[in-house]
Amino acid sequence: MPEDNENTEQQAGKKSSKLKFIIIGVVALLLLVVILVVVYLFVLAPKPAQEQAAQNPAAQAPAVSPAPAVQPVAPAPAVTGMDMGVTNADMGQIYPIPTLNVNLADPTGITYLAITLELEFDPKNADLYTEVETKMPRIKDMIITTLSSKAYEEISTSQGKINLKNEFLRRINTMLSKGRLYNVYITGFTVQR
What tens digit of pLDDT does each residue of 55-65 get? 554 444 444 44
Q: Per mean pLDDT, which range of 2-16, 22-36, 70-84 is the poorest?
A: 70-84
Return d(Cα 41, Cα 149) in angstroms, integer.
Answer: 37
- The residue that leads in pLDDT, 134 or 79, is 134
Task: Using alpha carbons, select from 177, 111, 170, 182 the residue that is nearest to residue 143.
Answer: 170
Q: Domain residues of the chain, as ranges? A: 2-48, 83-192
Q: What is the mean pLDDT of residues 119-136?
A: 90
- Structure confidence at residue 187 (pLDDT): 94
What tens digit of pLDDT does each residue of 159-175 get? 999 999 999 999 999 99
- Structure confidence at residue 16 (pLDDT): 76
Q: Is 67 left (phi over 0), alpha (psi -120 to 50) or beta?
A: beta
What tens digit of pLDDT does each residue of 70-89 get? 444 444 344 444 445 455 55
Task: Using alpha carbons, select from 95, 182, 174, 92 the residue that is nearest to residue 132.
Answer: 95
Instruction: Quote the pTM value.
Output: 0.54
Give me the residues paired with residue 184 across strands. Answer: 119
CATH superfamily of 83-192: Band 7 domain (3.30.479.30)
Q: What is the mean pLDDT of residues 107-124?
A: 87
